[in-house]
Amino acid sequence: MTTDIVEYDAHQREILLETVAKGCSPEQFMLMLELAKKYRLDPFARQIWATPAGIFVGRDGFLAIAHRSGDFDGMETTFEERDGKLFSATCTVWHKRMSHPIRVTVRLEEFYRPTPPGKKPGAWERMPYVMLQKCAEAHALRRAFCVSGLYDSAELDPFDGPGPVGSACSATATVDGEEVPVERVPHRGGCPRCGRDPMIDAYRAKYLEAFERAGKTLPEGVCEECAKELWTA
């Protein structure tokens, strides 16, 4: 099955519900299909999947979006250690139509989640470099290719309930030899605050309801990451 196939018959949907969307509500399953269609991701190849905790895209899925754009010009991830221990990972992504690279740094302390007592060591304990690299690359690829509403499962806190771990990143671009926040790099269209793609309608409806209950205003057209920043402001 190719990524150009975005409609599934009843049998295919049944297979997806029993494999890459097991335990999800009908609404969550439909949202996964809509996101798969929007970003041309193949759930049968596990480029996108859903759990009751959220909808996720693996590194291969983010890379598929980047390569398909025709503008991906490579990426590099480096690590920083302090006192002989992993401290942070930095991913740099080059976009052919951007004169400056997108660079994102994530810290281990913001994403590392130890396994509760009595359970076998989890991925973060067995391979912290790999896990932190996935977080850094997911952040950088999202920003470079205007992807919103999708996260790598490594960004999820498996023990604190649904939803991705809070954005623990410092994204920068090199402008005239100086590191500046990526938000200051001009973008075309999209979110009025940062230029990324606005949230899909299904996500915006949920955020709008939460903002209204809290007496806050959700600006028109903002992306999910900016909505989170406004929520905590």
Evaluate whether residue 91 is within a structural domain: yes
Structure confidence at residue 65 (pLDDT): 93
Q: List per-block mean pLDDT (blocks of 10 residues) for the chain, which spans 233 residues.
A: 60 89 85 89 90 84 93 96 95 94 92 80 89 93 88 67 40 47 45 69 69 76 74 62
pLDDT at residue 70, rounded to an integer: 94
Together in a domain, 83 and 133: yes
Residues 229 and 136 in one domain: no
Q: Are 138 and 154 in contact (CB under 8 A)?
A: yes
Kindly state whether residue 130 falls inside one of the protein's structural domains.
yes
CA distances from residue 99 to 65, 104, 139, 157, 229 in whole angstroms, order as listed: 20, 16, 19, 35, 27
Q: What is the pLDDT of residue 31?
A: 87
- Does 215 share its domain with 116? no
Examine the domain organization and report whether 81 and 104 are in the same domain: yes
Q: Which domain holds residue 133?
A: 70-147+162-184
pLDDT value of position 138: 92
| In a shared domain, residues 135 and 220 | no
Question: What is the C-alpha to C-alpha distance for residues 140 and 210, in angstroms, rounded to an integer?
Answer: 28
Are residues 179 and 195 part of one domain? no
Examine the domain organization and report whether 74 and 179 are in the same domain.
yes
**pLDDT value, residue 201:** 67
C-alpha dihedral sign at 194, 92, 90, 123: positive
Burial class (CB within 10 angstroms; exposed 0-12, middle 13-18, buried 19+) of 43: buried
Q: Is 196 among the domain residues? A: yes
- Dihedral Cα 137, 6, 33, 47, nearest 10 deg: -30
Same domain flag for 213 and 143? no
The pLDDT score that the predictor gives to residue 79 is: 97
Are both 98 and 169 inside the same structural domain? Answer: yes
Position 171 scores a pLDDT of 46
β 178-181/169-175 pair status? antiparallel
| pLDDT value at residue 212 | 74
Does residue 173 share a domain with residue 94? yes
- Regarding whether 198 and 106 lie in a shared domain, the answer is no
Domain count, the chain: 2
Residue 216 lies in a domain: yes
Q: What is the pLDDT of residue 66?
A: 94
Is residue 173 domain-resident? yes
Residue 93 lies in a domain: yes
pTM for the complete prediction? 0.64
Q: How far apart are CA 147 and CA 149, in angstroms?
A: 7
Asked if 134 and 59 count as a contact pair (C-beta separation under 8 A), the reply is yes
Tell me, yes or no, whether 102 and 169 share the same domain: yes
Residue 169 is predicted with a pLDDT of: 41
